[in-house]
Amino acid sequence: MILKRLWILNFIFIPTVLVVWRKISDTNSRPVILTKNGLVRGLKSPNGDYDMFLGIPYGKVRQENPFGIADPYPKYEGIFDAVDDNNPCPQYDEGFNFFAGTLDCLRLHIYTPKKSEKLAVMVYIHGGAFRYGHSGSCNGEKDYDPVYLIRHNIIFVSLTYRLGVYGYMCLGTKEIPGNTAMKDQLLALRWIKSNIEAFGGDPDRITIFGHSSGSISVDFQVHYQHDNLFQQAILQSGTITNMHSFGEANTSLPFIMAENLGFKTRDLDAAIRFLSKQDPLNVIKAITQPALPILIFQPCIEKIFYGVEHFITKKPSELVPKVKNRKFLIGNTNDEYSIVIGNNPDEYFDDDHTIRKYLNYSFNFNEEELKGAVHKLKQFYIGNGEFSRKYRRQMTDLFSDMVHIYPTYKQLNIYHKNEATKVYYYLFTYSGGRNMYRQRNNLTLDTAIHADELGYLFQDLHVKSSSLEDQLMIDRMTTLWTNFAKYGDPVPSTSEILPTQWVPISDDSKAYFRIDKTTKMDTEFLAKNEFWEEFYRQYSKNFKY
């Protein structure tokens, strides 16, 4: 009987102890970091080459006012398990047609190579037209896996911030002055500056970078900075001089949204109280119905209130960038606007309606002035003909130059004028198998459209290519970007991958570094930039922002 009981104890107790021991052993083998908020436990990468800390909270959205400024995240209770990067902010993803997100979304994802020395840090701010986007996983999507960058021994950080109505509602009130998303980013950058050393990062070698509206965000952070939270910046296809980078305060939006959700009122506080209690995804769904007009949420000028941190208080053209003792890498793809109009029918190009509309975003024209401006553009891009589908290629170039390429050129000159240490200018023209947004839009173009370069910086689940040329471009792009982060120079010395010295702009030369199957310093696009420089000079009195 005693032997039988001992056998039963052995059968039950010993395996249980082994299972518990294995769990403890597995837990203890995971990386643990002591931050100023407490202990954070991460994961090892599948190949063991780096550690991942996913979904670290840096801020807390106020439940009573989810449209206003967030609070710093409080101390963790026990060990925070940083294992989940699926925490997007509320949004409608226009690229893949789904709704997702929660307001418990102010999170960071940190990837750290296994190195003993302090490493340069790269902080990525995702784009998405200020309305959508995510830095981790979302609905089975992961656009910004940094495995290619981590190989170069840098620490990579990406951040999630509020978007659309929750990030850019601009009412000009003390409670919701505007630019909440920018303040989320600022809160994240402060957390990174205070804590990154614990992860092996050098707090004095932080480079922030972003693409599209993420790049515009980077530019606004450059203009705002008082805290020396970063030393360098990379701006990819977006600056505050872009025509879609800025808007006006609009107090009518809460009434429209509340009415869409069944609550009609003309009391602003009542509308905000009602919206604050709604499920965030229901709010997003209510303002993205196809039958409704598109509601625009963008950065805006804030009123200054005592005791409230403000971010933007002047028009972009009146802001002075804080660029002294800082280095910048900035540029575009060569066919930016095909991402928007590449699949449009030929009829879209048969008149000047859209050109007039776009000019009115940035300029206050009367009809006669608008007619003269359109004629000037027509003469430069197509000569004596009339706008029509026959000139589809030239009109696409016009939109690319107007919306993206010239604004970038304008801003890099402003940086240089305000004594940035160095400004490196690039143009990405490579057409390969990982041009991710050309693939997503099913475009058969021998060009690089908006966001195509991202496929050579990040591993994307939807883009699979094994060509030797594409692998060379991955190696080239990631080496350029990480060299800049580590050394402040994308080509500190030439090599087989980087055979061309990258010369920063100067008073005498605005040549750019052309990134393609081969690399070279080039000036081919500068004639168009000089045309737009003269265009803006001629109509400077009409310029809105």
Report CA torsion sign: 274, 276, 280, 284.
Answer: positive
292 part of a folded domain = yes
CB half-sphere exposure, 419, CA atoms < 13 A: 3
240 within a domain of the structure (yes/no): no
Residue 498 lies inside a defined structural domain of this protein: yes
CA 57 and chain centroid, separation: 19
Main-chain dihedrals φ then ψ at residue 202, nearest 5 degrees = -95, 110
The amino acid at 480:
L
* Same domain, yes or no: 367 and 278: no
Q: Tell whether 214 and 358 lie within a shared domain.
A: no
On whether the CB atoms of residues 34 and 41 are closer than 8 A, the answer is no
In this structure, the answer to whether residues 371 and 300 fall within a common structural domain is: no
Q: Among 436, 408, 446, which residue's Cα sits nearest to residue 329?
A: 408
Asked whether residue 237 is assigned to any structural domain, the reply reads: no
User: 390 and 499 share a domain?
Assistant: yes
For residues 161 and 281, membership in a common domain is answered with yes
303 and 407 share one domain: no
Write down which residue in 286, 321, 356 finishes a domain. Answer: 321
Q: Which residues of the chain have pLDDT under 50?
A: 1-27, 291
H-helix or E-strand spanning residue 298:
none
Q: What is the pLDDT of residue 464?
A: 67
Nearest to 284 by CA among 105, 116, 460: 105
The answer to whether residue 24 sits within a structural domain is yes
When divided into structural domains, the chain yields a total of 2
Residues 371 and 411 both lie in one domain: yes
* Displacement of CA 221 from its chain's centroid (Å): 12
Residues 455 and 477 in one domain: yes
- Which residues does the annotation mark as catalytic? 212
- Kindly state whether residues 219 and 349 are assigned to the same domain: no
- What is the predicted pLDDT for the residue at 28? 56
Q: Residue 232 corresponds to which tokens in the numbers above?
A: 């360098």
The answer to whether position 234 is within a domain reads no
Q: What is the pLDDT of residue 289?
A: 66
Query: Which CATH number covers residue 212?
Result: 3.40.50.1820
CA dihedral 24, 28, 34, 40 (to 10 degrees): -60
* Chain-centre distance for alpha carbon 211: 4
Asked whether residue 365 is assigned to any structural domain, the reply reads: yes
Residue closest to 152 by CA, chosen among 127, 176, 124, 120: 120
Per DSSP, 325 falls in state: T
Asked if residue 246 belongs to a domain, the reply is no
- Say yes or no: 106 and 220 in one domain: yes
Q: Quick one: 85 and 107 in the same domain?
A: yes
State the residue range of the domain holding 374.
Answer: 323-544
Tokens of 144: 């910004």
pTM over 0.85: yes
Q: Tell me the two tokens of residue 528.
A: 């168009």
Domain endpoint, select from 301, 321, 341: 321
Nearest one of 168, 269, 268, 266 to 220, comparing CA atoms: 168
146 shares a domain with 4: yes
